[in-house]
Structure 1
């Protein structure tokens, strides 16, 4: 059993302030015993197309990654670096980095599914106007267990989460900035369903809500266990939530209700 922490941070139009706030939250979470600390989607950048290019960094020249790598070494923890706008060869990606306790990048996930929606009386947003799709599923090993990362809209595609599970992921982190239309309607349902269908732990990490910002996130970061129960959840404000991940509990649930073994892959 080990502890994870999700840092729900209010993002501002101030790069240095966002980075500093994330650094302080990571330190606080580590000091309270978290072995893996996760941040939200676009934690260093306002979630708006006009800011993505302004805040974008290249992997080998990134103040954000320097901070994440330094604090992971300082505290001896794993960090799931939410997501940031990553620039490479003229393209901008919505990218999450995983950092190990030695400060090494051990995985990166570029958001596979871009959020292009036009909801009547709700939000209209087209990430594809600003961002490029990722092409790879992201699963990697740690000393604790195998972990997966996907980003926000990725969670809506059950095939992806099932594939990650079949690749061995037993804990999936999902930095996600759901809005005030989709959040109240779908946030809890999606995370609970993906967890119980695959009998895994799954964590959704949102920015804190800011009614005066360029984007109003739903908040309510959460951790769901393999039985589909929410075992930790935030409200809408800045906070850190914690949850214990019990590897034996995953195996217990899969033994008692062997969904994955009962799949009829010869039929579907």
Structure 2
């Protein structure tokens, strides 16, 4: 199967878990009528705020959120990449993404590896490491459409991670994210085009919609970039479902025309997965 229909659910996230899950459920149900693979944003059940990460945190083995997503994946017979949620394990808290297959089974999970600790003078300061623990595992999952790689938001800024996932067979790179109104206009589109172009894969990002009443303002602009580095689908800032069909045969075509991965000088350098 070479063609894949995506539904990017750019939902408005508020300070009400039940309302967020109702919104996610309605968008998944709507999206599944026209797509094989549904993607939710980073922290889709939770406001993007350190205190809310603590408040909304759930353990995987009895997660109310994950139970709902599992049932939706099974009932709609679609893959769902459940953006991310605050995941509790013992005394640690992680920013974790879960991939469900059409049977509602979790087939992969990714804990955000690079925590968002930034201080842009007079614009934005945020320090995820105050409450979150970084993950240490690369995440490459096998699907009916081939292998995919999963990162979360800030992870996309580190090209070594993308290259390792591609070296391990990933044809699509997914980064649920929540860039802000400072970093988003400057870097969001550039980073997705760059990771797609560098690795000659599809690169997909799904963000929350802009909620001006929240303490953290998401840039939105959920996006799909193709192996040539072109944007083939993109939202604005409002809540919407973005549909996009991708053809995985395009990866082979681009790699034959511009054989970057073959032309690497591995006698001089290589990226290793530890």
Distance in 2, matches of 1:61 and 1:20, equals 19
Distance in 1, matches of 2:196 and 2:4, equals 18
| TM-score for the superposition, normalised by structure 1 | 0.99
Aligned to 1:68: 69
Distance in 2, matches of 1:205 and 1:251, equals 25
Residues 158-237 of structure 1 mapped to structure 2, 5 A cutoff: 158-237=159-238
Residues 47-196 of structure 1 mapped to structure 2, 5 A cutoff: 47-196=48-197
Task: Choose which of 2, 7, 12 in structure 2 pairs with 1:5.
Answer: 7
Instruction: Confirm whether residue 46 of structure 1 aligns to residue 47 of structure 2.
Output: yes
Structure 1 residue 242: Cα displacement: 1.1
Distance in 1, matches of 2:237 and 2:180, equals 12
Distance in 1, matches of 2:29 and 2:173, equals 22
Distance in 1, matches of 2:146 and 2:203, equals 13
Aligned to 2:25: 23
Structure 1 residue 81: Cα displacement: 0.2
Structure 1 residue 85: Cα displacement: 0.1
Aligned to 2:272: none
Q: How many residues align?
A: 267
Q: Secondary structure at the match of 1:107?
A: strand
Distance in 1, matches of 2:225 and 2:7, equals 13
Distance in 1, matches of 2:248 and 2:223, equals 18
Q: Secondary structure at the match of 2:173?
A: strand
Q: Secondary structure at the match of 1:82?
A: strand
Q: Secondary structure at the match of 2:162?
A: helix
Deviations 1:186-216 (A, max 9, x none): 0110000000010000101010001111210
Distance in 1, matches of 2:108 and 2:159, equals 22
Unaligned runs of 5+ in 1: none
Distance in 1, matches of 2:116 and 2:43, equals 14
Stretches of 4+ aligned residues off by more than 4 angstroms = none
Q: What RMSD, in angstroms, separates the aligned Cα atoms of the two structures?
A: 0.6
Distance in 1, matches of 2:155 and 2:219, equals 17
Distance in 2, matches of 1:68 and 1:230, equals 29
Structure 1 residue 19: Cα displacement: 0.6
Distance in 1, matches of 2:127 and 2:35, equals 36
Deviations 1:34-72 (A, max 9, x none): 100000000000000010110000001111101110000
Distance in 2, matches of 1:224 and 1:67, equals 30
Deviations 1:89-140 (A, max 9, x none): 1100000000000010000000000010110121101000010000000001
| TM-score for the superposition, normalised by structure 2 | 0.97
